[in-house]
Each structure stands twice: as structure tokens, then as C-alpha cells.
Structure 1
Amino acid sequence: MKTESGVTHYASRNDYIQSRNTPKASELVKKSIADSSKGLEDKVQLSDEAKAKSQLASEKSGLKETVKGNLKQNKTELKKASKHLLSDAVSVAKNAFNMPGLGTAVDLASKLLPSNTPAQEVKEILSIKESPGESIGPKIIFVSGLHLAGISSDNEGLSAMAGEVDNAQHFSWKDEESILKEINRTPKNEPLVLVGHSLGGDAIVNISNKLNSFANGFRKVDLLVTLDSVGFDNDIIPKNVKKNLNYIGNKDAFFNDGPNIARNNSKTDVLNFLRSESHTEMDDSNDIQEAIFNEIDSILEAKKKENNESQMMKSFLKKMMTEMSSEDILK
């Protein structure tokens, strides 16, 4: 027991030893609770780590499958693009070297081209459903070039521009026949604008040449915008094109046609612009997009004015006919 002076007295030596070595009950309870909490924290920590590792493994597996899928798709896309460029090169060679001996070599190169049937068809950027009848209104078409999964974005460049223009359409460079069908559904008095980047630029020049034929009614193209076109033989712009804006990158090693030339200067206005942007940046350039927008806006405003004047003339003639009929009746 304790005295008033703070000195503790024990009944015997054994009583002192037992009192000194035996921990208090409250301390034992605290220690037990602390040990239990530590064990629980360790278990929770281990559980969180296990979940994180499991999630990381799942993400790695998903990323691996995505990369594998993209590589497989891109391989097919690159094969198609290579075949297209090689076909252009062979066509140029045939036209430039129509000499004995060279024709055999060129024909041999033609036979070495990849098969027309790819191992796996790549889904087009936009698939147009067949629709009977006419497609009324201005026809504004954007055509993208090579689309590589995991690298190219459908939400930038020409795709984004097409989304900002009323009734505009966005196609892949591989969709030439679908584009021609869509154009031929549109009345000839409606404006036609074609904007293409990379292989898409090459495609819209091909389309313009095809439109300049008896089969397609010698259809006029109000505006042709070629953004760093990739090809070999499409630098001459046909006379059915009213205006061509041609933007060329000055530091890329692609097969760019170079400056464009009008087949008939009195019918076609060709403007060439040398740009500092890289090939992939060309269609995202703010001032290029602004120039395209202004040209399209000018064409649409002119058509709107023409329609208004035509409507006013129709109303005037209708009014005159009505008044003349009234006078005849009074007579």
C-alpha cells in the first residue's frame, strides 16, 4: 500500500515481485486492441495491393490486345495505300516510257502488285447507305487520307470540319465510287465542294477527272482543296474545276505531286501555297481551316443570293401573269 509520503509498502518480498512483473489489465486490453488493429491494417493493405496488381494486369492485357488489333488493322491499311501508290507509279511509267523493252518491265511490275482482295477489310470511316432520288442542296465533301488505328483521330482535321458545316459529308480516300454516286444524286445546279488531305487529296483529283466526262455529265466542281496530296500523277487540274487551293508541305518526304497546274487557265484558277506544317498537321492548321471556311461560305452565300433572285423573279412573273389574266377577264 501507499503512504502519504508516496512510499509503497509490500507485505513481503514475493508480494513485491508479483506486483512488479504483472502488467495492468487496462494495459493488456490496449495492447490486444493495438495488435488486432495492426493485423487488420496489414490485411487491408495487402487486399488493396492485390486489387491494384489485378487491375494493372487487366489493363496491360487490354492494352496488349488493343495494340495487336491496331497493328493488324494498320498493316492492311498500309498495304492498300502502298498498292495505290505503286499503281500510280506504274501508270506514270507507262505514260512516260512508251518504248520497246520498257513496256515489258512495266507489265511485269503490274503483275507484282498486291492482290485486289485484302486479308481483312478495314471498316471505312463513313459508309453511305444507298438512297433513291435526288439529294437537294449544296454538296460539300471532305475526304481523309490514310487512317491508322491508335494514331489517327476521327475527331480532328477534316472529320471535325465536316461536323461544323451543315449537311457536309466525310469519307475515306478508298470511297471514290461511293462519293461519285453521292455527287451524281445531286442536281447539277447545286454547288460542289471537295476537300481532301493526303491520299484523300489524290482521290478528289481522281473524282474531278471522272466527273469531267460524258458518263458523269461534265459536272462542275466549284471548289477543290488539296492538302498535301500524296500521289504521282494528279498535279494537272481538269477544266471542270473552277478553283483549286493546293497546300504543300515543304519538309516531308511523301510522294507529293508538287505544285498543281490548270489544264485550262481560262476556266480554272489554281493557287499553290507552300506551308511549314508537317504532313499530319496540315488539316489541323487554324489559318488553312479559316481559308477553307471562307471559300465555302462565299460559295454558299452566292448560291443563296442566286436562289433569292430566282425566287423574286418567279414571284414577279407570277404576279404579272395574274394581273394580265385579270385584265383579259375585264375586257
Structure 2
Amino acid sequence: MAATFTTPKRPLTWLITGCSSGFGLSLARLVQSNGHNLIATSRNPARTPDLVAEVEKAGGRWLALDVDDKNSGQFIDDIEKGGQQIDVLVNNAGYCIFAPAESFTEEEVQAQTETMYFGPYRLIRSVLPYMRQRRFGVIVNVSSGAALEGRDSMGAYAAAKAALDGLSRVMAKEVAPFNIRVLTVQPGTFNTNMGNATKLGRNPLPDDYKGSVADQMMQLMASGKFQGDGDKDKAMKTVYEVVVGEGVGAGRESERLLPLGRDLAARIKTVQDYYAHAIEVFGDVCNNVYQEGK
């Protein structure tokens, strides 16, 4: 039986990471235009003074937050103890590094995982006690289609996103009794700043990969010509409505996964076929490795 959730009939306070562009900026504007309280964050607010001014003029706050900072949990404590209660945490900040899996340096994989998994986890771990005490909260983890079916050259990013997805699925069950929701947003390709946030692995591409799909992906992303299919503003309107239980989100508060994008729908079908094929081939084996007498 699905859990049921209640949402306070008041403006909510949203903390959103990665607000300097893309999904984060789009959602931040929606939150404020609908009368909610916003705490926008980015690694270096000084780079976007006009956006900071826009948010603060509308009554919000824009704070510096490096999600890689191992003390970022203190950031949550400072806000809560300063008198602002965080109702909605949106883990959105991130980047992607591209290379064949064997070519990444260990430092590159660690850095990718730090930003895409440990960073969100530290914020989640810090905010949950406050949400439990109030018996309300929403945690939104912005994932990626790569977590389902990553493209060649996206192994480190796909692994980090899949790790966050795995944590989210378990945590959603753990915190539901406290009227806390965990929503995984899984977007396909969108008109965000992803192309400009591209990093290539520092190791030279092995000759065997020259001309491969991985090589083509790396060249496309490095060119700055990548064009996503989806409309980020439409996507974030959907996220907003699912969080507050309005529009397409009305009556769907218990949903834990929000897939977004035509290209993502095709990737979901690929994954469904992947598992269906495995059961078709190995189903009899899968069901016959039990202990006798059990």
C-alpha cells in the first residue's frame, strides 16, 4: 500500500543547489513566482550578480555553497538554527566528465562521485533530522537517464547518479512514516547548460577507441554544439507541481520517480527489454538456485 503524505497549506522554503543556470535557475524562478521562500545556492555567486540581485529583489536568499565541501552539513545547520526551516531540498548541482571507463584517473572518478553522490548525501543527512522533527519534508534528487542507461564515455557520471538513485529508493521507504517524501527526478536531454559544463578525461584516448561511439560523444560534448531535446522550463514546472501536489502532481504525492523527456521514455524501454531478456534467457536458472527444503 502506498504511503500517504500531507503538505502544509503555507508557503514552503526551498533550498536548491546549482541555481546559476539550467534546471536550478528555472526551478528557482518558479518557486518565487508562486509565492514560496527560496534559498538559492551556487559555488560562486559572484559570477552571476544579476541573478543574485533578481532572487534577492524578490525576497529570496542566494548563498555560496560548494557541495564538495565535506563540512557542507554545517550549511544546513546554520540555516535551520538561524530561524529558517527547510521544507524542500533540491539536489541539482553537478557536471559530467567524459572518457572511456578504463581511461578515467581515480581522482577524476572520485571528484565526480564527490559532487554527484557524496555532496547530495551530506545535505540529505543533515536536513533529515529537522524534517523528522517537524514531520514534513520533501527531498528532490535530480538524477539522469545516464543512471538507467548511460551513453558510452559517461561511465563515471552514470555510476555516481545510479548510486544516488539507489540511496533514494531505500531512503524513500525509510522516511515515509515521518511524512517525508523522496522524489527522484530522472531527466533525459534538455536545453540546460550541460554542454558548457563538459569535462573530458585528462588521459589521452587509447587508439582502439578512435572513431568509437565514446570518441564521438566526447567530440560532440566538447564542441559545445550539443542540443538537448527537452524544454527545461516545462520540466521544472512539472517538478514544482509534483512537489506541491498541484496540476499534474495532484493526488500523486506518493510517487517516488518522475521520468522526464521523450528520449528518456525510449531509454526506459531499453532497460525494460534488458531485464525482460535476462529473465527470458535465465529465468529458469534464476528460480532454481534455492536451498532444498526451503
Larger C-alpha radius of gyration, 1 or 2?
1
- TM normalised by structure 1 equals 0.32
